[in-house]
Amino acid sequence: MSDLLGVGSGRSRSTIYKASCFLLPFVAVFSVTPLNHSVFYHINEWGSESPTAIFWVLLTNLGDGFFLFPLAMLLFYKMPDKQLAIIFTMLVGDLLLSGGKALLSSLRPVGELGLEAVNVLGPVLKTDTMPSGHSGTVFLLVGLAFLYLKSRIQYLILLVAAFSALSRVVVGAHWPFDIFLGAWVGILAAVIGDFLASKLKSGFKSRVVFILLGLLCVVVLPLYDNGFRSYKVIMYLQFVLALLALVLSVHCLRSLYQDELAVRMKQSGTLFNKLFLLGQRLTKFGMVGASGFLVDMSVYTLLGQWLGVPHLMARGGSYWVAASWNWFWNRNFTYSHVPKEKKLKQWSKYLAMCVVSFIPNWGTYYLLTSFVPFFLEYKQLALVSGVLAGMLFNFTIATVFVFAGRKSNVAKGANL
């Protein structure tokens, strides 16, 4: 895949500027002529052909941010220096698309024409038609592709995005005008995101956010319902994309860990001393974790067996009490040599880390107690398995982020 990766250049930016200007005449024509309605009727009829319906349903879901982000990760997981631009593009895109819908509130085809006059696939939507959020979201990726990838894949992404935007008319969700406006907004967001990222250095923090967004997709996608879950293929796609996001998030986390370790190894001191200190710190971290486990088990038993709280809720409550306990002792024992950060800020960062580690921890417990009868009877053993699943992740993030004592980045002096 490395031969598909490129670098943003003046020529790339010129191409994307021209593309955004190319869309504006279509926006103008469809906004002031009867073509908006006549073209809608013609294209919307395609959705009544049942053999092709699933094709359009699949395409239209690519414009959903939770579906699209794992695919964006696949394109850019080897380009950590571009991940800040992706984050900025998503934020700007969401602001422009959501703000546009709020300011330009108008009726969708079903709201204006009535349900009987429109072929609808998926949820029935009546308001907030412009700009098309799905079209804008998928064209964010087009803008990023033309800025940072080589031409062989740029045009494939453009083709898929064009059909995905067109599908919004086919499923009866938007007018043609909406999709052209949404596509223009999406490309504009990529231009702004690229500009903002060029003013800052992409580094540790932006890479962590990129990983967290991937893990958010892992958590949300299996249960996510945007109105298309009645199509089994969409449910399968959600699980496949969640698995893809998980694999890529783990890869990005491993890459980040290796880069951070390389930075630390360049600091003064022998390799043996560094490894010794790392082992000493891991031992302390384990001791704190062991004490936290006792707190976790005690609170879990108190809530579940003595107070009668349902065991899944008791498990969640005990976890957060133990997490706060571990933060306090890691701050004052494991990482006592590190310059102290403000307590509230550092505690918040530690709990944010625990939000992510809570996934393998609580998830392991949930799976074991839900699907393995042995662990349903011996829930404490399932709890132990969950604790072990989250420990290595916690140590890594705590060392390079929560208790780093410096601005931890791949490139020295980086900001994000």
Task: Please report whether residue 197 resides in a domain.
Answer: yes
Residue 71, Cβ neighbours under 10 Å: how many? Answer: 18
Question: Is the same domain home to 188 and 70?
Answer: yes
Task: Please report whether residue 153 resides in a domain.
Answer: yes
Can you tell me the mean pLDDT for 201-222? 86
| Measured distance CA(383)–CA(229) in Å, rounded | 32
The answer to whether 357 touches 266, Cβ cutoff 8 Å, is: no
Distances (CA, A) of 111 to 33, 47, 102, 118, 175: 20, 18, 16, 10, 11
Distances (CA, A) of 219 to 136, 242, 363: 24, 8, 10
Task: Please report whether residue 177 resides in a domain.
Answer: yes
Question: Is the same domain home to 280 and 252?
Answer: no
Task: Please report whether residue 407 resides in a domain.
Answer: no
Give Cα 366 to chain centroid, integer Å.
23
pTM for the model stands at 0.65
pLDDT over threshold 80, residue 265: no
- Residue for token pair 């020295």: 412
> φ and ψ at 5, to 5 degrees?
-85, 140
Nearest C-alpha neighbor of 148 from the set 100, 202, 112: 202
The percentage of residues in the chain with a pLDDT greater than 70, rounded to a whole number, is: 89
Can you tell me the mean pLDDT for 9-15? 63
Nearest C-alpha neighbor of 100 from the set 137, 50, 63, 59: 137
Can you tell me the mean pLDDT for 156-177? 94
Tokens read off for 247: 């694999």
CATH code assigned at 47:
1.20.144
Question: Is the same domain home to 55 and 131?
Answer: yes
pLDDT over threshold 50, residue 382: yes
Domain that includes residue 62, residue range = 2-257
> φ and ψ at 279, to 5 degrees?
-65, -40
Question: Is the same domain home to 20 and 138?
Answer: yes
Amino acid 339: pLDDT? 79
Tokens read off for 330: 């890691």
Name the domain boundary from 195, 224, 257.
257
Amino acid 305: pLDDT? 82
Question: Is the same domain home to 369 and 339?
Answer: yes
3-state DSSP call for residue 2? helix
Tokens read off for 287: 């001791």
Question: Is the same domain home to 290 and 212?
Answer: no
Question: Is the same domain home to 195 and 115?
Answer: yes
Task: Please report whether residue 332 resides in a domain.
Answer: yes
> φ and ψ at 127, to 5 degrees?
-130, 175
Question: Is the same domain home to 231 and 315?
Answer: no
- Tens digits of residue pLDDT in 387-411: 777 777 778 778 777 887 644 443 4
The answer to whether 349 touches 415, Cβ cutoff 8 Å, is: no
Amino acid 410: pLDDT? 37
Question: Is the same domain home to 218 and 278?
Answer: no
Task: Please report whether residue 393 resides in a domain.
Answer: yes
Count the helices and strands in the chain (H runs, E runs): 16, 0
- Tens digits of residue pLDDT in 76-130: 999 999 999 999 999 999 999 988 888 877 899 999 999 999 999 999 999 888 8
- Residue for token pair 């393995």: 372
Name the domain boundary from 257, 289, 307.
257
Question: Is the same domain home to 286 and 235?
Answer: no
- Tens digits of residue pLDDT in 361-380: 777 777 777 767 777 777 77
Binning pLDDT at 50, 70 and 90, where does residue 135 land?
A: very high
Name the domain boundary from 195, 222, 257.
257
Question: Is the same domain home to 165 and 215?
Answer: yes
Amino acid 350: pLDDT? 86
Task: Please report whether residue 409 resides in a domain.
Answer: no
* Total structural domains within the chain: 2
Task: Please report whether residue 410 resides in a domain.
Answer: no
Question: Is the same domain home to 205 and 341?
Answer: no
